C-alpha cells in the first residue's frame, strides 16, 4: 500500500477545496502588494503581456495535469504523484523534493506577506512610542497558530478556514471594483492611448509578480483527500486558472484608470486608496488572501512530503516510515506537517524571503515544465494504455513545456542554473541509494517507438524516390555459436557504432514449438546479459529454424531495425575448427542472389588487438571489393576501440599496371577524403612463383584485423580451401561486394 493512501477512509473532499485553494493562492499576496507596482512600471499593455505570458505556462499546465489526472487514479502527493508515476520514482523524488521545499517555503512567504496587512499598526506604534517593531511580532505567533491547527486538526480545519477567508477576499475585491478616485474621473484612458512602458524592465517585473500564478496547481496537492480526483482536479484547476486570468485583466484595467503610474509604483497598498472602505477592507483582504494561501500551502506541502516518505525516497528507512505514516483515525500527514511547519518557521524567523521567492518560482516552473513534458510525450507516444477522459492537445503541452523553461532563464539565469544543479545533486544522491529504481524507459519508449515507426515509413518512401544515395552498412549476422565466440558480434558492433545499423540473430536449431519458444526467450536474456558488458549498438534477436538455409532465407527478407533494407550479410566460422564453413559456402549463392554484400568472419582464438593496424588486401581485378573494404575500414576506425589504429592497404597487381594502380589508389584516397596516408599504401607485384597466402601471412602477421577480398568465381572453384592457409594471422574478414560501389 502506498504511503499516501488513507487507510479506512470512506469519504473525501469535492471540487470546491481544489478550486478555492487555487484561486485563493492566485488572488493572493502578489495581487495586493505587488501588482500595482507592476502596472505602474509597465503600463496597461505591459500588464496584459504579463497575463498572456504567465498563462502560456499555467493554462497548458492546468490542461496537462487535468489530462494526467483522468488517465489513472491519482493518489496522495498531487503533482509529485503524477510526475513520479510517469518519469519514475528517482526522477519523481528529485522533482518532489524541490516541489516540497517550494511549498514549505511558500508557507513562510505568505505568512510574512500576511504581516503587511498590519502596516497601519506598525506605523502607529512607531509614531506613538517611537519603537520599530519587527514583523516577527505578528508573523511568528501566526505561524505557530497555523502550525498547531494543521498538526492537531488536519486539513478539515484548513478547509473550513479557507471558505471563510475566501469569502472575505471576494468581498474586498467587489468593494475594490466598486470604488472610484478623483484620478479616474480625469484620466481619459482608452485602449487606444494605453501604454507599454519600460519594456527593458519587463522580465524584472514579471519575476516579481509571477509567483501569484503558481497557485493554480495548489489544489492538486489535496489529491489523496478527494472523493473523485479525476473530476475535481480538472474542474477545480482549470476553473481557478481561467477565472483568475479574467479577474487579473479587470484588475489591470481598474488600477490603470484609478491611479497614476507614480502612485501605483510608490504605494504598496494602492488598492486601499481605490476600494470603498479601502483603509479597512483592503488590509483585511490582504490578510485573508495571504492567510488562505498560507493555509493552502500548509495543507499540500505535508502531503507531498508524506508521499515522498511512502515511496521510500529518503536513504533512511526510519525517516521514510516516520514521514509516510498518517494519523491512525484519518490518515492526516501529522508527522510530515511537523517537518513542513518547522521549515516554514525557520524562514519566518529570518523575516525576508524575497530572494527565495525567485528560487520558489524556479522549482515551480520545473514542475510545470515536467507536467507538460509528460503530457506531450504521452500524446506523442500514443500508448494504448493512455486513455484520459479529459484530453488536451500535444502542441499545447509542448508550448507549456518550452515556455516554462524559457521563462526560467529569462527571470534569472543564475537561479535557473542553480535550480537545475541542485536537482542534479539530489538525483545523484537518490540514484545512489536506489540503483534498482528506473522509470524513464516506459514513457520514452513509446515516443521512440512512434518516432522510429514514422521514420521507417519516411525512409521507405524516400528510397523509392531516390535513384542514388550514399552507402552505409545495414548488416545482419546469423550465428549458432553466440555463446562460444563473440568475434562476429564485435565486428557487427564496430560497423554499427556510428555509421551503420546492425542486427545480430542467434540461431536455435529445431522446429518451432512451445519448448523451443521458451528456449529462445531464455537464450535471448542470456545474450542481452552477455553483450551488456560492452558498449552495444546492435539489435539482438533469436530465430528458431531446423536448417541453416531456412534461417538465412527468413532473416534476409526481414527489414533492418533502422527501417532500411539489409544490404550486407555476415557469416562466421572458427578458423581452428571450421565445422560450419561448408554450410556458409553452400549458402553463398543463395545470399548473393539477393544482391547482398557478404562478409565472412574467420574467428581466431587469438585476441584481436584493437591498437594494431587494419590491413586491407585488395586485388586490381576486384574493384568493387576494394571500395567496400576501404569504406568498412574507415567505418571501423570510427569506433572508440580503434581510435589509435590506422589503415594499411596492400594491392596486388600485374607489373605493367603498378604505376597506373598506384595513381588510381592515391586519387581514390584523396577525392574520397579518407584518413589514409600515401606511405600506408603498398603496391605488390602479382608474380606466379610467390603464393598470395604466404605473402599475406608474412605482411599481416601482426595486424590487429585483416580484410581480404574474394570473388564468387574463385569461391566456386576453391570452396572451403579459399578460407584456409592463413594460420599466421589472427581474425580475418573475407569480403565480397555484390556490385559496383563508389566512394563519394
Strand-by-strand arrangement of the 614-619 sheet: 539-545, 501-509, 474-479, 568-574, 597-603, 732-736, 705-709, 614-619, 647-653, 681-685
**pLDDT over 50 at 560, yes or no:** yes
**pLDDT over 80 at 437, yes or no:** no
The pLDDT score that the predictor gives to residue 211 is: 78
- Identify the CA nearest to 285 among candidates 174, 179, 124, 160: 174
* DSSP code, position 226: B
Residues in the chain: 744
d(CA 206, CA 211): 9
Mean pLDDT over 336-345 rounds to 88
What stretches of 311-353 show up as alpha helix (H) in DSSP? 317-324, 334-350
Mean pLDDT over 355-382 rounds to 75
pLDDT tens digits for 658-707?
A: 777 777 777 767 665 566 777 778 888 777 777 888 889 988 988 999 99
d(CA 81, CA 109): 25
For the chain, percent helix, then strand, then coil, each to nearest 5? 65, 10, 25
**pLDDT over 90 at 126, yes or no:** no
pLDDT tens digits for 606-623?
A: 889 888 889 999 876 666
Continuous segment of H or E residues that includes residue 596: none
d(CA 181, CA 272): 11
Q: For the chain, which domains are there?
A: 15-440 (1.20.1740.10), 471-736 (3.40.50.12370)
- Identify the CA nearest to 287 among candidates 178, 161, 103, 179: 161
Would the pTM of this model clear 0.85, i.e. be above it? Answer: no
**pLDDT over 60 at 468, yes or no:** no
Q: Please give the C-alpha separations between residue 506 and each of 117, 474, 526, 577, in angstroms, as whole numbers.
A: 75, 17, 11, 19
- Per-chain mean pLDDT for the chain: 81
The pLDDT score that the predictor gives to residue 620 is: 64
Residue 189 CB: number of other CB atoms within 10 A?
Answer: 16
- Give strand ranges (E) for 238-290: none
d(CA 504, CA 483): 13
d(CA 148, CA 152): 6
Phi, psi angles (nearest 5°) of residue 135: -65, -20
**pLDDT over 60 at 41, yes or no:** yes
The pLDDT score that the predictor gives to residue 738 is: 84
**pLDDT over 50 at 495, yes or no:** yes
The pLDDT score that the predictor gives to residue 447 is: 62
Which has the higher per-residue pLDDT, 491 or 224?
Answer: 491
The pLDDT score that the predictor gives to residue 10 is: 41
CA dihedral sign, ordered 374, 376, 380, 384: positive
In the numeric block, which cell numbers belong to residue 512? 518451432
d(CA 242, CA 240): 6
**pLDDT over 50 at 412, yes or no:** yes
pLDDT tens digits for 285-320?
A: 888 778 777 877 887 888 888 888 888 888 888 888
Mean pLDDT over 28-53 rounds to 88
Least confident window among 174-178, 202-206, 385-389:
385-389
Return the biggest CA–CA distance within the chain: 120
Percent of the chain exceeding pLDDT 90 equals 14
The pLDDT score that the predictor gives to residue 154 is: 60
**Band of residue 439 on the pLDDT scale cut at 50, 70, 90:** low
Residue 439 CB: number of other CB atoms within 10 A?
Answer: 16
Q: Please give the C-alpha separations between residue 47 and each of 39, 133, 209, 367, 710, in angstroms, as whole numbers.
A: 6, 35, 10, 25, 76
The pLDDT score that the predictor gives to residue 574 is: 92
Amino acid at each position: 500500500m502506498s504511503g499516501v493512501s488513507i487507510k479506512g477512509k470512506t469519504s473525501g473532499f469535492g471540487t470546491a477545496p481544489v478550486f478555492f485553494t487555487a484561486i485563493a493562492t492566485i488572488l493572493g499576496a502578489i495581487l495586493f502588494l505587488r501588482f500595482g507596482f507592476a502596472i505602474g512600471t509597465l503600463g496597461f499593455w505591459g500588464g496584459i503581456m504579463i497575463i498572456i505570458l504567465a498563462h502560456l505556462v499555467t493554462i497548458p499546465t492546468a490542461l496537462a495535469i487535468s489530462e494526467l489526472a483522468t488517465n489513472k487514479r491519482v493518489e496522495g502527493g498531487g503533482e509529485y504523484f503524477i510526475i513520479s508515476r510517469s518519469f519514475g520514482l528517482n526522477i519523481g523524488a528529485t522533482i518532489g523534493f524541490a516541489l516540497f521545499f517550494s511549498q514549505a517555503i511558500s508557507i513562510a512567504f505568505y505568512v510574512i506577506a500576511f504581516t503587511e496587512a498590519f502596516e497601519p499598526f506598525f506605523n502607529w506604534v512607531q509614531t506613538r512610542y517611537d519603537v520599530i517593531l519587527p514583523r516577527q511580532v505578528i508573523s511568528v505567533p501566526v505561524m505557530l497558530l497555523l502550525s498547531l491547527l494543521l498538526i492537531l486538526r488536519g486539513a478539515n480545519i484548513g478547509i473550513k478556514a479557507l471558505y471563510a477567508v475566501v469569502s472575505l477576499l471576494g468581498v474586498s475585491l467587489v468593494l475594490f471594483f466598486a470604488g472610484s478616485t478623483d484620478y479616474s474621473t480625469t484620466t481619459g484612458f482608452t485602449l487606444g492611448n494605453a501604454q507599454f512602458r519600460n519594456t527593458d524592465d519587463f522580465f524584472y517585473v514579471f519575476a516579481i509578480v509571477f509567483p501569484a500564478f503558481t497557485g493554480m496547481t495548489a489544489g492538486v496537492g489535496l489529491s489523496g483527500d478527494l472523493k473523485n480526483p479525476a473530476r475535481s482536479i480538472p474542474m477545480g484547476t482549470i476553473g481557478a486558472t481561467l477565472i483568475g486570468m479574467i479577474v487579473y485583466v479587470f484588475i489591470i484595467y481598474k488600477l490603470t484608470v484609478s491611479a497614476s503610474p507614480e502612485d501605483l509604483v510608490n504605494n504598496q497598498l494602492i488598492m486601499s486608496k481605490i476600494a470603498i472602505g479601502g483603509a479597512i477592507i483592503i488590509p483585511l483582504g490582504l490578510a485573508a488572501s495571504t492567510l488562505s494561501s498560507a493555509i493552502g500551502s500548509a495543507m499540500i506541502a505535508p502531503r507531498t512530503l508524506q508521499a515522498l516518505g511512502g515511496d521510500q525516497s529518503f536513504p533512511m528507512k526510519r525517516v521514510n516510515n516516520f514521514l509516510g505514516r498518517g494519523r491512525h483515525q484519518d490518515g492526516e500527514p501529522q508527522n510530515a506537517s511537523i517537518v513542513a511547519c518547522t521549515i516554514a518557521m525557520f524562514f519566518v524567523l529570518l523575516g525576508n524571503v524575497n530572494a527565495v521567492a525567485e528560487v520558489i518560482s524556479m522549482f515551480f516552473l520545473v514542475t510545470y515544465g515536467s507536467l507538460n513534458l509528460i503530457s506531450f510525450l504521452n500524446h506523442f507516444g500514443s500508448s494504448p494504455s493512455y486513455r484520459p477522459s479529459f484530453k488536451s492537445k500535444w502542441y499545447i503541452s509542448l508550448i507549456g513545456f518550452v515556455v516554462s523553461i524559457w521563462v526560467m532563464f529569462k527571470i534569472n539565469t543564475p537561479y535557473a542554473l542553480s535550480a537545475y544543479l541542485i536537482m542534479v545533486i539530489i538525483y545523484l544522491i537518490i540514484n545512489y541509494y536506489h540503483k534498482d529504481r528506473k522509470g524513464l524507459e516506459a514513457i520514452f519508449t513509446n515516443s521512440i517507438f512512434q518516432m522510429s515507426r514514422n521514420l521507417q515509413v519516411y525512409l521507405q518512401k524516400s528510397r523509392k524516390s531516390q535513384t542514388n544515395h550514399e552507402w552505409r552498412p545495414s548488416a545482419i549476422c546469423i550465428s549458432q555459436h553466440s555463446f562460444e565466440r563473440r568475434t562476429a558480434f564485435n565486428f557487427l558492433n564496430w560497423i554499427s557504432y556510428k555509421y551503420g545499423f546492425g542486427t545480430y540473430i542467434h540461431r536455435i536449431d529445431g522446429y518451432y514449438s512451445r519448448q523451443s519458444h521458451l528456449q529462445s526467450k531464455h537464450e535471448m536474456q542470456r545474450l542481452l546479459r552477455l553483450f551488456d558488458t560492452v558498449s552495444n549498438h546492435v539489435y539482438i534477436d533469436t530465430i528458431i529454424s531446423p536448417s541453416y538455409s531456412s534461417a538465412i532465407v527468413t532473416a534476409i527478407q526481414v527489414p533492418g531495425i533502422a527501417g532500411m533494407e539489409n544490404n550486407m550479410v555476415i557469416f562466421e566460422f572458427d578458423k581452428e575448427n571450421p565445422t560450419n564453413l561448408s554450410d556458409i559456402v553452400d549458402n553463398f549463392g543463395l545470399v548473393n542472389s539477393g544482391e547482398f554484400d557478404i562478409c565472412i568472419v574467420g574467428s581466431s582464438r587469438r585476441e584481436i588487438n584493437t591498437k594494431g593496424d587494419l590491413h586491407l588486401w585488395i586485388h586490381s581485378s576486384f574493384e568493387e571489393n576494394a571500395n567496400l573494404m576501404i569504406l568498412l575500414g574507415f567505418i571501423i576506425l570510427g569506433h572508440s576501440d580503434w581510435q589509435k589504429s590506422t589503415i594499411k592497404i596492400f594491392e596486388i597487381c600485374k607489373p605493367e599496371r603498378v604505376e597506373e594502380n598506384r595513381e588510381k589508389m592515391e586519387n581514390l584516397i584523396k577525392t574520397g577524403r579518407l584518413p589514409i596516408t600515401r606511405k600506408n599504401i603498398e603496391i605488390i607485384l602479382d608474380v606466379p612463383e610467390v603464393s598470395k597466402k604466404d605473402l599475406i601471412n608474412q605482411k599481416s602477421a601482426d595486424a590487429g584485423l585483416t580484410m581480404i577480398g574474394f570473388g564468387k568465381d574463385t569461391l566456386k572453384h576453391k570452396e572451403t580451401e579459399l578460407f584456409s592457409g592463413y594460420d599466421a594471422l589472427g581474425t580475418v574478414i573475407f569480403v565480397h561486394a555484390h556490385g559496383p560501389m563508389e566512394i563519394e
